[in-house]
Structure 1
């Protein structure tokens, strides 16, 4: 079974790309995989196995 998480990152203009990368790496360490990145609205959908 899968579980999902939807986040809307709040990133300032300063060091935006580094903060975005750090955020993605943080979730990856927790076992989350990126499934979708919104183009017109700033949200990210993550997926992982629920019974891990």
Structure 2
């Protein structure tokens, strides 16, 4: 079984790419993988196995 997490990404003007990279890496360390990144709404959907 899978579980999902939706994160709303708040884009800033400075160091936006580094902050996004740090956020993605934090979730990856917790076992999440990116399932989808919505371009217009800045929404990221993560997925992982629920019974891991």
> Could you tell me the TM-score, scaled by structure 2's length?
0.94
Give the gaps of 5 or more residues in structure 2.
none
Give the gaps of 5 or more residues in structure 1.
none
- CA distance, structure 1, for counterparts of residue 39 and residue 24 of structure 2: 16
| Match in the other structure for 1:40 | 40
| Match in the other structure for 1:29 | 29
| Match in the other structure for 2:4 | 4
Say what the alpha-carbon RMSD is for the aligned residues: 0.7
Number of equivalent positions: 52
> Could you tell me the TM-score, scaled by structure 1's length?
0.94
